[in-house]
Amino acid sequence: MVKKITLNSLASMKHSGEKITMITAYDATMANIASNNGIDILLVGDSLGMVCQGESSTVPVTIEEMCYHTRCVSKASNDAMVLSDLPFGSCATEEQTILNAIKLMRAGAEIVKLEGDRWLAPVITRLKQQGIPTCVHMGLTPQSVNVFGGYKVQGRDLEQANSMIASAIELEAAGAAMLVLECIPVTLAKDVTRSVSIPVVGIGAGPHTDGQVLVIYDMLNLTAGKLPRFVKNYMANAHTPQEAIRLYADEVRTCRFPALEHCFE
């Protein structure tokens, strides 16, 4: 029998070394397909700004749009956990963060994701006190693309790398339930993953994290234009989206994805 994925299941997966499978979903049809084909966590990512709305970044996405898509996904999530993004500008103050996280939880999220690092620690503690689990997205945080000056690998210099490890430890102590690491070197992702006891899911972060996430349209080869190095086209060896998602879940669980060609040094 398939069991509902909870934070407890994810903690025991980290403990036993069983890899966590995550994929983005923005509507009920994709949520149903993904949750029935081996996916543990459905991420209602603000990447919907780019893949659903045709924007050039995630910056224009609003909390109302995130709530709408969260509601669509949560209705068809089956046993998968629903993780929703707090979008750009929704966390300008602690009070605003808490009120917006409540909106996402009311729309069907079971955990919310915020982009940032150790400066989020106080609000993470307050969210947990309000019954809201959090996932912190570190490394290449797409909402800060205008600060980074483009989508660039993060954590390559020693100071940045050490600060990321220290942030992860502080965020766990503050009550964060999970981390997402995007576009960082393989060795740094390995060090961060080993430094904390909460699950760490990677995208462009190499094979040593506790799980993997991809944008669903990217791995189904539906996204227009050049794809990032860390994406694998799962339709190349599948006849249907269902088969492609099953293949992705299987390759994550058996550590065949990501391969060297999807990683950064």
Report the interface residues with ligand KIV, using CB under 6 A: 24, 43, 45-47, 85, 137, 180, 182, 203, 213, 215
- The residue (of 40 and 46) whose beta carbon lies closer to ligand KIV is 46
d(CA 140, CA 137): 8
The region that residue 99 occupies, defined by phi over 0 for left and psi between -120 and 50 for alpha, beta otherwise, is alpha
In the block, tokens 């500008």 appear at: 89
Shortest Cβ distance from residue 1 to ligand KIV (Å)?
A: 29
Shortest Cβ distance from residue 180 to ligand KIV (Å)?
A: 5
- The residue (of 132 and 215) whose beta carbon lies closer to ligand KIV is 215
Q: Which residue of the chain is nearest ligand KIV when measured via CB?
A: 45
Shortest Cβ distance from residue 46 to ligand KIV (Å)?
A: 5
What's the number of CA atoms in the CB half-sphere (13 Å) around residue 139?
A: 24
Phi/psi of residue 87, nearest 5 degrees: -80, 175
- The residue (of 14 and 239) whose beta carbon lies closer to ligand KIV is 14
Q: Which residues pair with 139 in a beta bridge?
A: 182
d(CA 15, CA 50): 35
SS3 for 178? strand
User: Of these residues, 110, 115, 172, 182, which one is catalytic?
Assistant: 182
Estimate the share of the chain in helix, then strand, then coil, as percent rounded to the nearest 5.
45, 15, 40
- The residue (of 45 and 211) whose beta carbon lies closer to ligand KIV is 45
94 as an active site residue: the answer is no
Shortest Cβ distance from residue 22 to ligand KIV (Å)?
A: 8
Residues recognised as catalytic = 182
